[in-house]
């Protein structure tokens, strides 16, 4: 993968996390969580599609279709796991 493709992928993978934060809200910690989940899911989805040879909605060397789907799955699961409320001990 070329450097411009990596930079474009990094910029595109930032968008789902940022939009998810705008939708769900939260503090700076939640923003960081959503960005990391968006980045992780994007690259896992991209490399999975590349490994399996899927070319759904590709943009150059980026497999955007599966990458964005992976990003959304990571964001959904990460948000669901972050809803756990830990009770305080006295």
Specify the pLDDT at position 2: 86
Specify if 88 maps to a domain: no
Is residue 61 scored above 80 in pLDDT? Answer: yes
Specify the pLDDT at position 51: 93
Specify if 10 maps to a domain: yes
Tell me the average pLDDT across 65-78: 93
Domain that holds residue 8: 3-81
Residue 13 makes CB contacts below 8 A (sequence gap 6+) with: 38, 39, 41, 42, 43, 67, 71
pTM of the model: 0.85
Is residue 58 scored above 90 in pLDDT? Answer: no
Q: How many domains does the chain have?
A: 1
Specify the pLDDT at position 19: 92
Give the CA distances from residue 15 to residues 11, 36, 39, in Å, rounded to whole numbers and listed in that order.
7, 11, 9
Specify the pLDDT at position 57: 84
Specify if 90 maps to a domain: no
By C-alpha distance, which of 35, 40, 9, 11 is closest to 21? 35
Split at pLDDT 50, 70, 90, the class of 83 is: confident
By C-alpha distance, which of 33, 42, 54 is closest to 5? 42
19-57 per-position pLDDT tens digit? 999 998 878 888 999 999 999 999 999 999 999 988 888
């Amino acid at each position: 993968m070329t450097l411009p493709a990596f930079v474009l992928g990094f910029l595109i993978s930032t968008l789902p996390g940022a939009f998810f934060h705008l939708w769900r809200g939260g503090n700076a910690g939640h923003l960081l969580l959503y960005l990391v989940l968006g980045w992780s899911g994007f690259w896992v989805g991209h490399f999975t599609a590349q490994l399996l040879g899927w070319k759904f909605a590709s943009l150059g060397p980026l497999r955007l279709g599966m990458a964005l789907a992976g990003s959304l799955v990571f964001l959904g699961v990460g948000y669901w796991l972050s809803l756990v409320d830990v009770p305080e001990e006295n």
